Amino acid sequence: MKVQELKHAGLKKWVEDAVALMSPDSVEVCNGSQAEYDRMIQITIDNGLATPLNPQKLPGCVLFRSDPSDVARVENRTYIASEQESDAGPTNNWINPDELKKTMTELYRGSMKGRTMYVIPFSMGPVGSEIAKIGVEITDSPYVVANMHIMTRVGTKVLDVLGTDGYYVPCFHSVGKPLGTGEKDSGKWPCAPLDKKYISHFPDTREIWSYGSGYGGNALLGKKCLALRIASVLARDEGWLAEHMLILKISNPQGEVKYITGAFPSACGKTNLAMLIPKLPGWKVETVGDDIAWMKFGKDGRLYAINPEAGFFGVAPGTNRESNLNAMETIKKNTIYTNVALTEDKDVWWELIGHDAPGKLIDWNGNEWIQDKNNKDQKPAAHPNSRFTGPAKQCPAIANEWEDPAGVPISAFLFGGRRPKTIPLVNQAKSWVHGVFMGSIVGSEVTAAALDVKAGTIRRDPFAMLPFCGYHMGDYFKHWIDIGKKAEADGKGDKLPKIFFVNWFRKNDKGFIWPGYGENSRVLAWIFERCDSKGKFVDTPIGILPTPDAISRPDGVSEADMQELLKVEIEGWKAEIADVRQNHYPKFGGKLPKELAVELDAIEKRLNT
């Protein structure tokens, strides 16, 4: 479709202005069709950026290898450019919005020379549903167009909902690599150098400007940029929640159903938990979403969650038929792979895929790679943040109601992170505010999901939202406190989800103590019972823990292991709390809600008596 055919005058003008600034060779409005998707893929194949995979093994699948400087989100190039610096808060990078727009306007000037500009109308959430939000992304990357087709709902049907004057979030994206006359990408992933990359959000005007990166959350602007950073601001203003959470449906052997959401930092197990196949007989888990939840109160006082996305942008390494069969089944066809390794017969391979590398591979850098199991220092063949983009509807475990615009009623919130020590397998909050306290102090070993933070060290990642909150984190904590207060004031406090902290990642000298994955169903079963105030428990200084026999033991986990997993480690907790008091909470200054300061004093007191 041509720009001239756009019926929305504001949108048409916005696109025309962008064309004048970015000087693409041509412009196309995306219709969202299969033919369009196929054409995008063909363009990237012709450019040498994509490799078609073996049609017998992986029909409709392709592999991309990105630039080594462009393999993950770039947190220190991500900006919350609110009018007031104080609104961005201590955990976000801030630049004055006028100044940032000036800088970026110069970067965008002529940035699409030699390329086609694609205009992508997309809906986060089912098209036309009341809860959905519409965005329009302008991009010069056919890779982004193809990914957006899978991750969001794209095309003419979205324009129909927009009509002649509907509201949309305007999103600019350019890879920042204009082409000279006759120049082609010729196999070289286009992007700008790190110090020219900008992932910018203007929360006051609700705009997103991204420049210089073509990868994941930096470039697929519906996901972290719109559905979390901008949506968190809308949620604060409108009294709902936009969270970095999976959504799962769980049924017990009696067929009773509950819905649970979980916030774990990037690469800490959301996709895996959302698709879990229970090891506990008779239990069933189905997937509603694997990364983002938008939640609003229903008339009955319960919180209802929708998944605003339409696909999974999941971590490849560690995914195998044992750990996540549903993901492996989802990504057998119509899937985009990025930065995994390629086998000689055009199949994919990654670390812990479940079998040894079959012969000679091409690694994510495009070099020959032969597995050497004697060399512990061998560089991985797949990048640790290599990913698959697969359609959610292909997931064998997708819940029937996953696209229900009314959402699903949530019984429990889980928080968690990678904590090798101290933090028990599961711990229930004593109250809403205690649960908010737990969320506010989430810490996790850093993973490869962001480029510029050192993997392996523990950092605080409150609510798993550190890189995704579009405003002051202290105000965000207050928003959570207020959600609880509002429910109490409405006499609906008992309808609020119960809050739990889980940790699948406790280690001893032999490695992970808890086998994780499907075995996590044993913990979910206890959580399920606790939502109905059942299940065996002990009230401890740190929270409500299962008794050692309350959770059935998987093979290989001894009674002693179980005791260790569920022990209250007073000294470790004192250190944890001291760290919160000295290094974490002071960051929020006067914006730290007093309820959380009270909660901190209270847990400290309980640990000391």
Catalytic positions, written as ranges: 268
**Pick 73 or 460: Cβ nearer Mn ion:** 73
Pairing of strands 311-315, 336-338: unpaired
d(CA 112, CA 211): 11
If binding is defined by CB under 6 A, does position 267 make contact with ligand GTP?
A: yes
318 class by beta-carbon count within 10 Å (0-12 exposed, 13-18 middle, 19+ buried): middle
Residue number closest to ligand SPV, CB atom = 217
Measured at CB, which residue is nearest to Mn ion?
Answer: 291
Least distance from ligand SPV to the Cβ atom of residue 224, Å: 5
Contact string (CB under 6 A) for ligand SPV, positions 190-229, x = contact: --------------------------xx-----xx-----
Q: Give yes or no for residue 191 binding ligand GTP (CB under 6 A).
A: no
Report the DSSP pairing between strands 368-369 and 408-416: unpaired
**Rounded least distance, CB 42 to ligand GTP, Å:** 28
Among 88, 268, 341, 450, binds ligand GTP (CB under 6 A): 268
| Interface with ligand GTP, residue 323, by CB under 6 A | yes
Is the distance from CB of 121 to CB of 158 less than 8 angstroms?
A: yes
Nearest 5°: the CA angle 543, 530, 577 is 15
Closer residue to ligand GTP in complex, CB, 315/342: 315
Nearest CB to ligand SPV, comparing residues 172 and 526: 172
Give residues 140-199 in contact with ligand SPV (rule: CB under 6 A).
none
Nearer to Mn ion, 291 or 403 (CB): 291
Q: Which residue, 8 or 73, is less far from ligand GTP as judged by CB?
A: 73
List Cα–Cα distances, 407 to 150, 156, 388, 400, 403, in angstroms.
21, 24, 26, 11, 8
Our finding on whether 266 is near ligand SPV (CB under 6 A) is yes
Nearer to ligand GTP, 497 or 518 (CB): 518
Binding flags for ligand SPV, 439-478, as an x/- string (CB under 6 A): ----------x-----------------------------
13 by Cβ neighbours in 10 Å (0-12 / 13-18 / 19+) ranks as exposed
Find the part of the chain contacting ligand GTP (CB under 6 A) among 64-72, 117-125, 313-321, 358-366: 313-321
Other Cβ atoms less than 10 A from the Cβ of 147: the count is: 27
Is 291 a binding residue for Mn ion by CB under 5 A? The answer is: yes
Is residue 77 a contact point for ligand SPV (CB under 6 A)?
A: no
**Rounded CA gap, 61 and 55, in Å?**
8
Contact 44, 142 (CB under 8 A): yes
Q: How far is the CB of 412 from Mn ion (least distance, A)?
A: 20
CA-to-CA separations, 590 to 175, 190, 442, 474, 478, in angstroms, rounded? 40, 44, 20, 8, 12
Beta carbon of residue 152, minimum distance to ligand GTP (angstroms, whole number): 16
CB of 248 to ligand GTP, least distance (A): 12
Exactly one of 14, 27, 71, 73 binds ligand SPV (CB under 6 A); that residue is 73
Residue (301 or 318) nearer to ligand GTP, CB: 318
Is 418 a binding residue for ligand SPV by CB under 6 A? The answer is no
By CB under 6 A, residue 512 contacts ligand GTP: yes
What is the token pair recorded at 52?
């078609």
Query: Which residue of 178, 269, 416, 593 would you call a contact of ligand GTP, by CB under 6 A?
Result: 269
Nearer to ligand GTP, 27 or 276 (CB): 276
DSSP string, 240-300: -EEES-EEEEEE-TT--EEEEEEE--TTSSHHHHHT---SSTT-EEEEEESS-EEEEE-TT
Tell me how far CA of residue 395 lies from CA of 89, 224, 262, 289, in angstroms.
Answer: 38, 22, 19, 11
Q: How far is CA 596 from the centre of its chain?
A: 26
* Residue 383 makes contact with ligand SPV by CB under 6 A: no
Please give the DSSP secondary-structure letter assigned to residue 472: -
Q: What is d(CA 244, CA 263) in angstroms, rounded to the nearest whole number?
A: 6
Strand order of the β-sheet with 311-315 is 50-52, 62-64, 336-338, 387-391, 311-315
Q: Crossing angle of helices 473-489/432-440, nearest 10°?
A: 170
Per-residue contact track with Mn ion, 238 to 267, x per CB under 5 A? ----------------------------x-
In the complex with ligand GTP, the residue whose CB is nearer, 36 or 243, is: 243
User: How far is residue 380's CA from residue 63's CA, in Å, rounded to a whole number?
Assistant: 17
Return the closest-CA partner of residue 600 out of 569, 578, 583, 570: 578
Binding mask 283-302 for ligand GTP (x = CB under 6 A): -------xx-----------
415 binds ligand GTP (CB under 6 A): no
CA distance 276 to 69: 33
Q: Which residues bind Mn ion (CB under 5 A)?
A: 266, 291
Q: Which residues bind ligand GTP (CB under 6 A)?
A: 264, 266-272, 290-291, 314-315, 317-319, 323, 449, 504-505, 512, 516-517, 520
Q: Which residues bind ligand SPV (CB under 6 A)?
A: 73, 216-217, 223-224, 266, 291, 313, 449
